[in-house]
Structure 1
Amino acid sequence: MKNTASESRHISTHIDRPAKAVYDYASTPSNLPQWAHGLGTSIAEIDGQWIADSSPLGRVVVAFAPENEFGVLDHDVTLPSGETVYNPVRVIADGSGCEVVFTLRRQPDMSDEDFQRDTDAVTRDLATLKQVMERAY
């Protein structure tokens, strides 16, 4: 079934590490292959752009929001088709740990199955980020 309605899902995980440590790690594009498998297994900076050639979608360009003190990890992913997908992500302090919240937006004409597949992929990526961060310390 196709759906053209605007829909978002907020997918989150709590990480038992300070928000600043998680933000610093997750905002470093070269770390993406360690936790964001949906973007592929390798990424390189080429001519000032971060390019993932091994993405399941093919060659994609990833551009993060400028470094900030607010935990904003928003990033654009430009697909091989030229379409750009905006991904809002926040790292929010929570006591001695933090919550990472990824807002997944249904893309136009995306099927329910594809939206669920993307939801599952983001959930796995956040679980991996949690594991990497908590294992590192």
Structure 2
Amino acid sequence: MTDDTTNTSRHVSQWVDAGFDEVYAYAADPDNLPRWAAGLADPKLAGVEVEFAERNEFGVLDHVVTLPSGERFFNPMRVIPAGIGERGCEVVFSLRRLAGVTDAEFDSDAAAVAADLATLRALVERAG
């Protein structure tokens, strides 16, 4: 079944047992992307550019991925502290469903994002 509905998002999140600042710094560093974002580490995607929002105190990691074809994709992402004075944080990626994407493809994309966020969690928790 194909759902051509646009403006559909799925929020994929992962709790991380590490400080907000360290998670944000690691995830915001473009040099670390291939370590945790499997889709961007694929050698078939040579020439892909990723542009992050300016570093900020609010944990905004929104980014634009530009493919070699020139096609661009906006990806909202946040690191959210557990609370004031509390250790831990949640990383949330808002997966946007594009027109023509089937339910199975959208589910597969969400699973890939969840795996990437789990990898990010493991790397940051191991380093801390």
TM-score by length of 1: 0.85
Query: What residue ranges of structure 1 are gaps of 5+ in the alignment?
Result: 42-53
Tell me the secondary structure at the aligned position of residue 81 of structure 1.
Answer: coil
| Equivalent residue number for residue 73 of structure 2 | 85
CA distance in 2, matches of 1:113, 1:58: 26
Q: Which has the higher helix share?
A: 2
Q: Which has the higher strand share?
A: 1
Matched, 1:4 2:16: no
Please give the per-residue CA displacement for 1:72-130, whole angstroms capped at 9, x wherever unaligned. 00000112332211100000000211000000000121122221111111000000000
List, as ranges, runs of 4+ consecutive aligned residues in structure 1 with deviation greater than 6 Å. Answer: none
* Cα RMSD, aligned residues only: 1.3
| Equivalent residue number for residue 88 of structure 2 | 97
Tell me the secondary structure at the aligned position of residue 5 of structure 1.
Answer: coil
| Equivalent residue number for residue 34 of structure 1 | 35
| Equivalent residue number for residue 13 of structure 1 | 14
The count of residues paired between Structure 1 and Structure 2 equals 124
Note the C-alpha offset of 1:58.
5.2
Paired-residue identity, %: 52
On the 8 A contact 2:35/2:41 being kept in 1, the answer is no
CA distance in 1, matches of 2:74, 2:2: 21
| Equivalent residue number for residue 98 of structure 2 | 107
CA distance in 2, matches of 1:24, 1:2: 38
CA distance in 1, matches of 2:126, 2:46: 30
Q: What aligned pairs does 1:118-129 form with structure 2 within 5 A after superposition?
A: 118-129=109-120
Letter of the 1:36 partner, please give it: A
Letter of the 2:26 partner, please give it: Y
Tell me the secondary structure at the aligned position of residue 129 of structure 1.
Answer: helix
Tell me the secondary structure at the aligned position of residue 9 of structure 1.
Answer: strand
Structure with the greater relative contact order (CA < 8 A, sep ≥ 6): 1 or 2? 2
TM-score by length of 2: 0.91
